[in-house]
Structure formats: structure tokens, C-alpha cells
Amino acid sequence: MSLSAYIPIVGLFALAAAFGLFSVAIAPFVGPRRFNRAKLDAYECGIEPTPQPIGGGRFPVKFYLTAMLFIIFDIEIIFLYPWAVSFDMLGLFGFVEMVLFIVAVFVAYTYVWRRGGLDWD
């Protein structure tokens, strides 16, 4: 197998890196500069950046729930993507299987929704 197949990937890496560098470099020049206390706080998934003195750093389970819900749908996308690519080849069988898969995830989603997993409070 020739390495030429990987050239687009290298290109993609280069593009991504360039975009990142460009964004960071250009932001101080074009963005407005308005500072306040909240803005100076580091964002870290809702967790207070310094450890809480009591309880050894306990924090609400809600964040985990949200993160786990995200992962579930993330995985769904990961499965959907290769299917979409080879949709022609898999045909009706692939379509039915994928519908079943989506239904299964949807069942879980409904459960979470009905049981209040999506309510923040």
C-alpha cells in the first residue's frame, strides 16, 4: 500500500493546526476587551477550579449525567457516520438495522426525558 493515501490526512492536520494558530493569534487584535469576574474564572465543566474545603470536592451528579448523555449521542453519531458512508452497499438491511439502533437509543432517551434526567433542577 502506498503512503500517498495518507497525504489528505496530513493536509487536514496542517489545516487544523493552521486554523488553531490563526484563531489564537488573531483574537487579541480583533476582539473587544471587556473584563469582569466571571470572565476571569476558568471554565472547567462546571467544577470549581480550586478544591472545596469540605467533602473532598463533591459536586452535583448532574454534570456527570449530562456528560454521559453526551457520550451516548456521540457514540450514536460514530455509528451513524460509517453507515452513511457505505449506505449504498448495506442497502435495506443496513437501513433497518440502523433504525433499530436509533430506536434503542431513543428508548433510553425517552426514559431519561420522562424521568427528569434533562431537568437541571
Partner 1 sequence: MPELKLPDIDYAALLPMLILFGAACVGVLIEGFVPRSVRNMVQLVLSLAAMVAALVFVIRRAGEVTAENAATIGGAIMIDNMGLFMEGALLVLGLVSLLLFGERTLERGGAFVPHAAVTVGSERDREQAVDSGATEVYPLALFSLGGMLMFVTANDLLTMFVALEVFSLPLYLMCALARRKRLLSQESALKYFLLGAYASAFFLFGVAMIYGFAKGVDFRAIHEAVRGSETSPTLLLIGLALVAIGLLFKIAAAPFHVWTPDVYQGAPTPVTAFMAACTKAAAFGALLRVLYVGFDGAKWHFTPVLGAVAVLTMLVGAVLAVTQTDLKRLLAYSSVANAGYLMVGLLGGNKDGLSSTLFYLVAYGFTVIAAFALVSLVRDADGEATHLSRWAGLGRRSPLFAGIFTFLLLAFAGIPLTSGFMAKFGVFGAAIAGDQTWLVIFGVLTSIVLAFPYLRVVVMMWLSEPGETTPSVSIPGVLTSAVLGIGTVATLLLGVLPGPLLELADQASSFIR
- Is 5 a binding residue for partner 1 by CB under 8 A? The answer is no
Q: d(Cα 15, Cα 43) in Å, to the nearest integer?
A: 27
Task: Identify which of 108, 80, 102, 100 has the alpha carbon closest to the alpha carbon of residue 118.
Answer: 108
- Is 52 a binding residue for partner 1 by CB under 8 A? The answer is no
CB of 59 to partner 1, least distance (A): 13
Unique residue bearing C-alpha cell 448495506: 90
Task: Candidates 29, 35, 81, 93: give the one binding partner 1 (CB under 8 A).
Answer: 93
Task: Candidates 14, 86, 96, 118: give the one binding partner 1 (CB under 8 A).
Answer: 86
- Is 67 a binding residue for partner 1 by CB under 8 A? The answer is no
Residue 111 Cα distances to 14, 21, 84, 105, 117, angstroms: 43, 43, 27, 10, 8
Q: Which residues sit at the interface with partner 1, rule CB under 8 A?
A: 61, 86, 88-90, 93, 103-104, 107-108, 110-111, 113-115
